[in-house]
Chain A
Amino acid sequence: MMRSSGLPWKRERLTARLKGLRVVVENRKIMAGLCMLVGLILTAEIGYRLLPYDPKKMGDVPLGLPPSWEHPLGTDPMGRDLLTQLFYGTTLSISIGFTAGMIAFIIAVLIALIGGYYGGTLDSILNVVTEVFITIPSLAILILVAAVVGRVTIPLMSLILAVFSWAWPCKVMRAQILSLKERGFIKLAKLSGYRGIEIVIREIMPNMLPFLGAYFAIVVSWAMIAEAGLELIGLGPQYTITLGIMLNWAMVHAAFTRGLVNWWIPPVIVLIYVFLSLFIVSMGLDEIGNPRLKVKG
């Protein structure tokens, strides 16, 4: 190693980190997926500000217009501009999905780390709880909660979604931690006198980062699938517009069987686009965490 002033080990770690970052940036899949997402969010944000209409106010524009220059996607029978709704809904749907995914992800990581690393009775209890949450059809409980609560707000929606989407990733992460725990370098760290928390933070976490990232993308995607599903059947937050709520309005007004393509196709396309880009990101991260995948192609 080259001798240099200052703290050589710190510099080494910094370059190691930069290298890690470069692997992420150089991965085509991750960058493509991220660009797709960021592009969508920017388009939606800018587009929403450019359009003069209100996405929520009924009777804001003439009712039930077909697509035209003034209203590129037309208007709905309540007199709202559909493109404005689409832009507004995209941002809100994604932010609900991300918030829910983030909460679920934190729950999953904590439970997996605590249970997987420390083991014992605590782990058995946590494991049973996780499996219970996997087995229960979450949508049924979500419907019950949403129906009983009645007025669902946006933060509450994220919270409800999170509570029912952490279990599966938690199970997978726990398995990953269990296998990491048996590796040589963890044993070495233990012999070197590191404490449990230090091992978890300094040895286990860095090794799991790509894997965790991949699962974060997947959790967000699942949360958004559940979100749009709940909203589609009319159990989302009220008095606002998300992609799922647009689809709900479209379904209630029988837009599928009346050929009102301009109403329901755009939100469907945006949803699929979001799922796809998240999926591409998770595949890319999977490649980094699991280099053999790339060879297998």
Chain B
Amino acid sequence: MYALALSMAITINFVVPRLIPGNPVQTKLMQLYRLGIRLGGEEFVEKYSRLFSLDQPMHIQFINYITMLSQGNLGFSISFFPATVQGLIITRLPWTLGLLGAAVVVSFLGGLLLGAFMGWTKREGKRSRLTSIVFGASLFLSQMPYYLLGMMFVYLLTYLLPLFPYGGGVDITVSPGTIDYVVSILYHATLPALSIVLVSLGAWAVEARGLMVSVLGEDYLFLAKAKGLRERYVFRQYALKNTLLPTITDLALSLGAVTSGSIITEIVFTYPGIGSLLFNAVQSLDYPLIQGITLIIIFGVTTSALLIDLIYPFLDPRVGEK
């Protein structure tokens, strides 16, 4: 399944730009020229056309493209010309991975626990005012796009009440390798991460609550109570485990959406990750770079989804038995 997703993405990546008539490199250069940007000219076009063997028939182009990809070669960027696409991506990748990784883990675990607790308070028809308020808030947050929340944060917490820095990933006056440097990185990442975390935390909480409510009716919980086990133990060992396991496959499926959202969040915060690089590439019509980034994003998402699926049988023994 994931291999198929990946190969389809590569094919889209290959085909879409080639649907436009004419030599893409030349077209782009002409567009840039009209905007008043001069680049390498004839020599550049030739070099580039040769690199991508654009003068050859489609199927050979496709084979070449795949070979280049397998060697990790994504070609040259137009707007940062001597730089290669993979070089540019590698300098930005750690930022995105850090931000997104932390945000996904925190919101997944936090949201599930929150949701599980909310569901747990519903046992035996109990009602709790606090729970319904938190549930309402989670529902509301889960419907917000990340970038709107991000914009609110930018305005409220960097402009009106300047508690947090705006833009960039780290204070450039701090020298790398010191503790201050790490602190500065975390400080800059707080708001972008928070806007992703709050939204997906809400979504996970809503889902976990629903699952917990359906687990509440199960016989094994009744049995556990009949055995006289303490509530906290029943919650942890019986209810929680059964609530959390099915959500792991959803985590794999949700990665694509989270990544999409974080691209725009990065742009809103001018965070120096892949998303901002993509934004620059779009603005300067640098489309080898756009293609490269799209591919890396899809590759990252499908690989992590695959990894989650592979780990799942170890967490849930029932799956392995089938």
Chain A residues near B (Cβ < 8 Å): 128, 131-132, 134-141, 143-145, 147-148, 221, 225-226, 228-229, 232-235, 247, 251, 256-257, 259, 261, 264-265, 268, 271-272, 275-276, 279, 296
- 5 tightest A-B CB contacts, nearest first: A139-B260, A137-B256, A132-B5, A225-B145, A137-B259
Segment from B108-116, B178-186, B287-295 that makes contact with A: B287-295
Measured CB to CB, the closest approach of chain A to B74, in angstroms, equals 14
- Report 9 cross-chain contacts, Cβ distance below 8 Å, ordered by A residue: A128-B1, A137-B255, A138-B260, A140-B263, A147-B285, A229-B145, A233-B264, A256-B155, A296-B122
B182-210: CB near A (< 8 Å → 1, else 0) gives 00000000000000000000000000000
For residue A91, give the distance in angstroms from its CB to the closest CB of chain B: 20
Starting from the known contacts A128-B4, A137-B255, A140-B259, 16 additional A-B residue pairs (CB-CB under 8 Å) come to A135-B2, A135-B256, A136-B302, A141-B298, A143-B278, A145-B16, A147-B281, A147-B282, A148-B17, A148-B20, A225-B145, A233-B263, A233-B279, A251-B267, A275-B144, A276-B143
Q: Most B CB atoms within 10 A — which of A131, A134, A144?
A: A144
- Specify which chain A residues have a CB less than 8 angstroms from the CB of B245 in the assembled complex: none
Please report the C-alpha to C-alpha distance between residue A63 and residue B59 in the assembled complex, in whole angstroms. Answer: 54
User: Contact: A272 with B144, CB < 8 Å?
Assistant: yes
Q: Which B residues fall within an 8 A CB radius of A?
A: 1-2, 4-5, 8-9, 12-13, 16-17, 19-20, 122, 139-140, 143-145, 147-148, 151-152, 154-155, 158-160, 166, 213, 252-253, 255-257, 259-261, 263-264, 267-268, 278-279, 281-283, 285, 287, 290-291, 293-294, 297-298, 301-302, 305
Given known A132-B4, A132-B8, A272-B144, contact A143–B301 (CB-CB < 8 A): no
> Which of A132, A136, A268, A272 has the most B CB atoms < 10 Å from its CB?
A136
Q: Is the CB of B9 within 8 A of A136?
A: yes
Q: Do the beta carbons of A135 and B155 come within 8 Å of each other?
A: no
Contact A136:B301 (CB < 8 A) given known A148-B287, A259-B159, A276-B140: yes
Contact between A135 and B290 (Cβ–Cβ < 8 Å)? no
Please report the C-alpha to C-alpha distance between residue A193 and residue B20 in the assembled complex, in whole angstroms.
Answer: 52
Q: Smallest CB-CB separation from B154: which chain A residue? A: A256
Residues of A within 8 Å of B166, CB to CB, are: 257
B301 contacts A256, CB within 8 Å?
no
Q: Which residues of B contact A256 (CB under 8 A)?
A: 151, 154-155, 159
A264: chain B residues within 8 A (beta carbon): 151, 155
